[in-house]
Structure 1
Amino acid sequence: MLQWRGLRDHRGECNRAVLVSVGEFDPGVRLERRPGANKDTKSLHHTLSKLGFKVDIHSDLSGDEIYELFEKESRRPVKDCFLAVLSSHGEEGCVFGADGKPVRLSQIFKYFDHESMEGKAKVFLIQACRGDGLDDGVEVDSADDSRECIFSPHHSVPVDTAVMYATAPGYGAFMHPLGSVFLQTFCTLLKEDANRNLELTRLMTRLSHRVAYTFQAKGRLLGGKKEMPCLLTRLTREVFPLGSRPRRCSVLIT
């Protein structure tokens, strides 16, 4: 059992969250701007900070800058948990930097597969399309060219890592000027008392249920369309996001 405690330990280490959001793309890049990206970032920063995470925000990075950031972050100390959010246009296996360059999720995950991250919970939230299952207008985070992004990242996910995608393979993820249904629902759940002692996989199950059964797209073209998040986990222990239990954390090997 691993509890995510927000306070620093005696070594000065704390749980960390890194938010990478691409809302504006470089001139000449044929990807629509994402007007709800800043709303998501603000909500996540507020919610995760209140849970005791040290939150770093990075906006509109290029593909290479995203790679460089996560390679560096994977070597920094963390107490119990590292949480990352990647929000951009995407296709299966990748998200896009502000320069339109595809960033392979498999490479991002591999950065965290090393000794200093052993025994730490690693959680990734991916707000991006994974295909063109929905029309690729301004309401969805999709892209036109998927030729470089057909590689599946699943085999590269390290032990003690959970990856929660906004949508299932092959489908689009909805974005609204007020924020994405996936990330906004995640923040809402973490604010509710009933969810504060849930183990991570149970929390993500509630997230999937709420997105799938309470959200429905509106409008002439996409009216009635739904979104179904997808969880990939290689966790070997129970993880409690709010770490509110009084005893010190222990690890349950399964």
Structure 2
Amino acid sequence: MYDMSKTRVAFMMCVTTGRRGAEKDIEVMNKWFDKYQFETPSGQCIDPNGQEILPALEEFRDQINQSEDEISCCLITLMSHGRSHGLIQGKDGDKVDLDDIFALFNNIQCPKLQEKPKIFIIQACRGGKEDHGVEEIKHEFKEADCTCNLIAIKRLPIASDYYVVYSTQKGYVSLRNTEKGSRMIEAMDEVFSEQGMKWHIGDLFTKINNNLVNETFSIHGCPVKETIVVESTLTKAVYLAP
């Protein structure tokens, strides 16, 4: 597992304009920052314009690189409107490419986080399609055995140790309730409350996805589904418990 005993840092950006219920998401994420002992050196980035997002993250990255403390982990939560092709928006509608954000924390741009977990939680739409689900059909599957031998070397790839959670599939809307907040953040709160001090992050988000997949929500009276997507280049397990 990763050594999580040193300083942990977090950054939160949230657009509340035109996103009723987003205040609940802020409340939930602040609760878990506190519970898991994440410091927020940059404070919170609430309702930025699109052109303000990258500079705020660059400042956060620079604070990490210049810190005298050893950093165990960084957690970045981005909650806003989103579009296809990996774009998120500020309150003014100006767009930022998520790839440009991820690159700020790679092993070149952020050497302080080399071989340290970099967790991104992206609560945003990734397109305009709605997932109305499909009737389940039972199949019998057989698992094929697949093994892969890895050779450990000291030289690092440009980007590694990332864990990126998207609140929905590529091309689809992300669901948010005007009172309870975003459905993924709501499911995170439930699972973290039950198992967050015991399980590693991979199991936590697998359970979160299970809970979401087995729920049916509604948009304008039509049933709609949501499933999260996780992309990982982690090399060890991440346990968030202090």
TM-score, normalised with respect to structure 1: 0.75
Distance of 1:34 and 1:74 partners within structure 2: 27
2:48 is the alignment partner of 1:52: no
Change (3 A) 1:238 1:91: same
Structure 1 residue 187 and structure 2 residue 179: aligned?
no
TM-fit CA distance, 1:224:
1.7
Q: Quick check: 2:169–2:227 contact (8 Å CA) kept in 1? A: yes
1:134 CA displacement: 2.0
Match of residue 122, structure 2, among 103, 122, 126: 126
CA distance in 2, matches of 1:4, 1:187: 21
Does the 8 A contact of 2:71 with 2:112 survive in 1? no
Q: In structure 2, the residue corresponding to 1:123 is in which secondary structure?
A: strand
Which residue does the alignment assign to 1:41?
26
Measured at CA, do residues 69 and 157 of structure 1 come closer, stay the same or move farther in structure 2, by a change above 3 Å? farther
Paired amino acid for 1:119: E
Aligned to 1:109: 102
Q: Which residue of 2 aligns with 1:90?
A: 82
Give 2:162's aligned residue.
Answer: 161
Q: Please give the alpha-carbon distance, in whole angstroms, between the structure 2 residues aligned to 1:19 and 1:195.
A: 20
2-structure distance, mates of 1:211, 1:57:
27
Question: Aligned to 1:15, which of 8, 29, 32?
Answer: 8
Match of 1:223 in 2: 222
Which AA in structure 2 matches 1:122?
K
**Could you say what secondary structure the match of 1:239 adopts?**
coil
Q: Report how far residue 63 of structure 1 moved.
A: 1.3
What is the alpha-carbon distance in structure 2 between the residues aligned to residue 125 and residue 34 of structure 1? 17
The one-letter code of the counterpart of 2:218 is K
Question: Alignment partner of 2:211: what SS?
Answer: helix
- Displacement after TM superposition at 1:218 (Å): 2.7
2-side partners of 1:38 and 1:188: how far apart?
A: 17
The answer (yes or no) to whether the contact 2:126–2:168 under 8 Å persists in 1 is yes
What is the aligned length? 205
Say which SS state the counterpart of residue 57 (structure 2) adopts.
helix
TM-score (norm 2): 0.79
Output aligned runs, 1:163-178, within 5 Å: 163-177=164-178, 178=180
CA gap 1:157/1:124 in 2 versus in 1, 3 angstroms: farther
Deviations 1:134-169 (A, max 9, x none): 29xxxxxxxxxxxxxxxxxxxx99200110000011
Deviations 1:95-145 (A, max 9, x none): 10112111100000000012222022100011111111129xxxxxxxxxx
Task: Report which stretch shifted further, 56-65 or 73-82.
Answer: 73-82
- SS of 1:74's equivalent? helix
Give me the whole-angstrom Cα distance separating, in 2, the residues matched to 1:65 and 1:191.
Answer: 33
Is the Cα contact below 8 Å between 2:73 and 2:113 reproduced in 1? no
- Give the share of equivalent positions with the same residue, in percent: 27
Given that residues 110 and 157 in structure 1 are in contact (C-alpha distance below 8 angstroms), is that contact kept between their aligned partners in structure 2? no
Looking at structure 1, the residues matched to 80 and 196 of structure 2 have their Cα atoms a distance apart, in angstroms, of 27
Report the alpha carbon displacement of residue 3 of structure 1 after superposing the two structures with TM: 4.3
Structure 2, unaligned runs of 5 or more: 65-69, 132-156
Residue pair 1:16, 1:82 contacting (<8 A) in 2 also: yes
Write the letter of the residue equivalent to 1:42: E
CA distance in 2, matches of 1:158, 1:191: 31
Q: Unmatched 5+ residue regions in structure 1?
A: 25-32, 136-155, 244-254
**Range with bigger deviation, 156-165 or 233-242:** 156-165
